[in-house]
Structure 1
Amino acid sequence: MSDAARIEAAIRERLAALSPTAVDLIDDSHLHAGHAGARSGGRHYRLTIVSEQFSGRRTMERHRIIYAALGDLMQRDIHALSIVARAPDDAPAA
């Protein structure tokens, strides 16, 4: 298994703790070739996730929940993470 595949599998496994109804994880690392974070091994991702755990919570709280779920991956394997976190009853992002 490649390093990129290992990291993506670890991300998905940890996010499963949030019981998401949808997860869209895109590795954008190739768009950041030569960037300091890319050189140090950290990868760049875009995440869209829908979970009931986000209901009634503000954006920053939702992001903190995700960061907590990802734990040490944020310090070691993920250099940048763009997040869209929605509750099932939220209107879809435009």
Structure 2
Amino acid sequence: MSTRAERIEQTLRAAFAPTVLDVVDESGRHARHAGRQGLPAGETHYAVTMVAESLRDLSRLERSRAVHEALAAEFKSGLHALSLTLSAPESA
């Protein structure tokens, strides 16, 4: 069985083919967060840094929406929050 971080990484790699992808579980930092009440322990809050050519022509909002759409199944199964840093590769 894979962890949520592994599933997030697999999903984002398949959807965006990133050159840089970092997925960090920050759930422990939110253990006492009021919005967590009723959620299972752990695997609820993540920070994602991703660089992908497929994001180049998208606005900041469109990038965020695309990632949220790709991870819809994770949100339905307990993912509560994502901190996103999304960009396209630097032009040479």
TM-score by length of 2: 0.83
Contact 1:28/1:44 (CA < 8 Å) preserved in 2?
yes
Helix, strand or coil at the partner of 1:83: strand
1:27 is aligned to 25
Matched, 1:44 2:48: no
Which consecutive unaligned segments of at least 5 residues does structure 1 have? none
Q: CA deviation at 1:38?
A: 6.1
Contact 1:7/1:77 (CA < 8 Å) preserved in 2?
no
Contact 1:29/1:38 (CA < 8 Å) preserved in 2?
no
Identity %: 32
Q: How many residues align?
A: 87
Q: Please provide the CA RMSD for this pair.
A: 1.8
TM-score by length of 1: 0.81
Change (3 A) 1:16 1:78: same
